[in-house]
Chain A
């Protein structure tokens, strides 16, 4: 099993450009989520999904869109990149249900917006 995979590993964008960060998991997990990691602020939840067709906002959703058309994939879209979105982005997945929700993380995507 590959676990949670993310592409690309690194990306540089100009202000105003759009792009999609890819995330896939092969563990048949219902729950998937996106976080951004910034120095001094830890991981902040952007969006999450509890299953195909169901998404919801986290702590910092503005400027990001998500969709969940399959169990395996959960892409994160930046509609119009801003320098404030420079960060390391992590995707995670887990099964759901009390006592079973260890989150498995991807390797991260380091994004720089100029």
Chain B
């Protein structure tokens, strides 16, 4: 069965500090992993996907198949990074995307 686990409901860091949002998944095939972000009063939107191996707004995420993890990292957090972050998994082909419970990131000045 597909499952996405985000163990932290809330993560609070100071501006300029490194941040890591954890995501672990369970899936028997070859999953596609994503991070979505929801800023205050905005729509949920894609931040990055593992298949692109990209860095968006300074964030990166590496898929670790051995540990079944897809943690989101940024070396220096900014106040504008404060938002709700969701890890998501879809099966091969893009159907049935499942989301984690989300982590609220709060970056303090």
Q: A42 to B94, Cβ gap below 8 A?
A: no
Question: For chain A residues 29-84, which have a beta carbon within 8 Å of chain B?
Answer: 31, 33, 35, 40-45, 48, 50, 56, 58-59
Classify chain A's interface size.
Answer: 20 to 34
Bound CA span A96–B98, Å = 15
Question: For chain A residues 80-114, which have a beta carbon within 8 Å of chain B?
Answer: 90, 92, 94-103, 105-108
What is the count of residue pairs linking A and B with beta-carbon distances less than 8 angstroms? 64
Which residue, of A41, A101, A106, A108, has the highest number of chain B Cβ atoms within 10 A? A101
Residues of the B chain whose Cβ atoms lie less than 8 Å from the Cβ of A50: 95
Which residue, of B9, B92, B101, has the highest number of chain A Cβ atoms within 10 A? B101
Q: How many residues of B contact A (CB 8 A)?
A: 25
Bound CA span A74–B58, Å = 36
Residues of the B chain whose Cβ atoms lie less than 8 Å from the Cβ of A98: 32, 51, 92-94
Q: Provide a sorted-by-A list of 18 A–B residue pairs whose CB atoms are within 8 angstroms.
A: A31-B95, A33-B97, A41-B101, A42-B99, A44-B99, A45-B99, A56-B96, A92-B97, A96-B93, A96-B95, A98-B32, A100-B94, A101-B32, A101-B90, A101-B94, A103-B46, A107-B43, A108-B43
> Smallest CB-CB separation from A100: which chain B residue?
B94
Bound CA span A41–B99, Å = 9
Q: Taking the complex as formed, is B56 at the interface, i.e. its CB lies under 8 A from any CB of chain A?
A: no
Residues of the B chain whose Cβ atoms lie less than 8 Å from the Cβ of A95: 94
Question: For chain A residues 7-43, which have a beta carbon within 8 Å of chain B?
Answer: 31, 33, 35, 40-43
Q: A103 to B97, Cβ gap below 8 A?
A: yes
A45 CB contact (under 8 Å) in B49, B51, B92, B97 = B97
Q: A105 to B102, Cβ gap below 8 A?
A: no
Q: With A99-B51, A105-B44 as given contacts, are A58 and B94 in contact (CB-CB < 8 Å)? A: no
